[in-house]
Amino acid sequence: MDHPETHPVFSGGVIAFVRSAGDFCTLLDNTRGASSRSEWVRSVRLSLLRLYHDFSLLPIFETVLDEPLEKFVTEKEWNAVNDSVLQVLGRFNEYLEVFDERMRESETPVVCSIAEDMADIYQDIKDFVSLYHMGTPDIMNDALAECQEHFIDYWGQKAVNVLRALHNLEFGSENLDEYTGGEDAPENDLPDTDNWIISRRMREYGKEQNDDELF
């Protein structure tokens, strides 16, 4: 077995990824405190870029334990991230996606949610960070191996999909911080008027909600 100081889980590349992962989770945990929509979009795009870049430089890790790893992110925490991103993005949350398996069976565009995708990525990354900080080399090793497996099967594609959507928002022609009414109207009774509170649930796929569904 490797000496703790020379174990691959303590390499410079891993430490860089852990730092990027922690920063990404902290950013999403504090979404409600964003100073503006445009600032949040830029910050999360850069954070997700660093996360993807640093992860891509990792060596391959193989599992060494027989037991499944513990999960930390609860449904309540997932919903909190999803809701906070929805509140910031408002009408800018949804985007059309072509790299989606549903496209094979759909005759209409597939509409995806930045908030849902970010919450899904957060779940995998926050679970990894929580396991890594347990400080046991075997658990840290298997957390990296599992994160790499989930990257291939799940969150890696979501990350590049969301990056495209965030790029279009940041460098598009619309003013992200201009209020247009409806979903973008700020709640006047909130102490922090830099944040936006949207009051509708996500539209069901392929259907539009009526105005009276907003509250």
Q: Are 169 and 43 in contact (CB under 8 A)?
A: no
pLDDT at 125: 98
Q: Are 169 and 92 in contact (CB under 8 A)?
A: yes
pLDDT band per the 50, 70, 90 thresholds, residue 179: low
* Strand, coil or helix: 126: helix
Mean of the pLDDT values across residues 139-146? Answer: 98
Q: Architecture of 4-178 per CATH?
A: Up-down Bundle (1.20)
Mean of the pLDDT values across residues 111-122? Answer: 97
pLDDT greater than 90 at residue 82:
yes
List, in sequence order, every residue forming a beta bridge with 193; answer none if it has no partner. Answer: none
Residues with Cβ within 8 Å of residue 61, at least 6 apart in sequence: 8, 9, 141, 142, 144, 145, 148
Mean of the pLDDT values across residues 110-130? Answer: 97
Domain ranges for the chain = 4-178
DSSP, res 128: H
pLDDT greater than 60 at residue 76:
yes
DSSP for 138-180, please give it: HHHHHHHHHHHHHIIIIIHHHHHHHHHHHHHHHHSSS-TT---
Tens-place pLDDT, residues 16-46: 999 999 999 999 999 999 999 999 999 999 9
Amino acid at 153: D
- Percentage of the chain beyond pLDDT 90 is 71
pLDDT greater than 70 at residue 213:
no
Mean pLDDT of the chain: 83
pLDDT band per the 50, 70, 90 thresholds, residue 93: very high
Residue found by looking up tokens 């999803």 in the block: 82
Segment holding 111, helix H or strand E: strand 110-113
